[in-house]
Chain A
């Protein structure tokens, strides 16, 4: 089936540094998402993005977070500066449509494990 790729699979950084997580979504998809999963907890929605704009975001999407998809390439999540509580696995997803039952299946990447020391 369609694949979403995420680079890197694991990133370790020091608190206060900037980090960029990269996602290569399914090629014809138009909607993009980030979810966060802290170890042992459920996956939680961060943000979705369409046509160059943030459409929805949760309270977990702090001011230090930003997303973009420059020139239709990688969909990125940038955290600047990072904090200890940002340590988690971040899953990227994409979908062809944003709403509706039949066409909004979200395809997930394998996740990037972020460790903030």
Chain B
């Protein structure tokens, strides 16, 4: 059973549009959710993260919305740029340890 799910698997938007990437989870003990951005040939890099005590986290054009009751979160990328084209992973962790549980990723393509 997948503990962290992401949708859609792939997403294409035009430059300047808002891309919305979705993530849901099963384990109610998860309390920290980092989003990673990965370009081809590179490892995942932390983009933005949120803890379960917050319902929103904003960093520039990137915003996480978190709904604890529904166990859902989403990453919004406003004013999308071609350079944002990458695979985005939602991950989750709890206080039991340091391991991250990853979703399957969303491959974002931003067309100029």
Please indicate the chain A residues that have their CB under 8 angstroms from the CB of B34 in the complex: 105
Please indicate the chain A residues that have their CB under 8 angstroms from the CB of B89 in the complex: 42-43
Cα distance A25–B12 in the bound complex, in angstroms: 34
Known contacts A45-B100, A48-B97, A48-B98; is-contact A108 B43 (Cβ 8 Å):
yes
Give residues 83-117 of A contacting B (CB, 8 Å).
91, 93, 95, 98-99, 101, 104-111
Residue from A31, A41, A106, A110 within 8 A of B42 (CB atoms): A110
Give residues 4-52 of A contacting B (CB, 8 Å).
4, 6, 31, 33, 35, 41-45, 48
Cα distance A6–B34 in the bound complex, in angstroms: 22
Q: Tell me the nearest residue of chain B to A89, going by C-beta.
A: B43
The minimal Cβ–Cβ distance linking A99 to chain B, given in whole angstroms, is: 6
B2 on interface, CB distance cutoff 8 Å = yes
Verify B105–A106 contact, CB threshold 8 A.
Answer: no
Verify B102–A56 contact, CB threshold 8 A.
Answer: no
Q: Tell me the nearest residue of chain B to A40, going by C-beta.
A: B104
Chain A to chain B: the 5 pairs with minimum beta-carbon distance, closest first: A108-B43, A45-B99, A98-B98, A42-B104, A43-B102
Q: Tell me the nearest residue of chain B to A9, going by C-beta.
A: B41
Interface size of A in residues (CB-CB distance below 8 Å) = 29
10 further interface pairs, Cβ-Cβ under 8 Å (given A98-B97, A99-B98): A42-B102, A43-B44, A55-B98, A56-B97, A95-B98, A99-B95, A101-B51, A107-B46, A108-B45, A111-B43
Verify B101–A45 contact, CB threshold 8 A.
Answer: yes
B32 on interface, CB distance cutoff 8 Å = yes
Cα distance A104–B36 in the bound complex, in angstroms: 14
Q: Tell me the nearest residue of chain A to B42, going by C-beta.
A: A110
A66 on interface, CB distance cutoff 8 Å = no
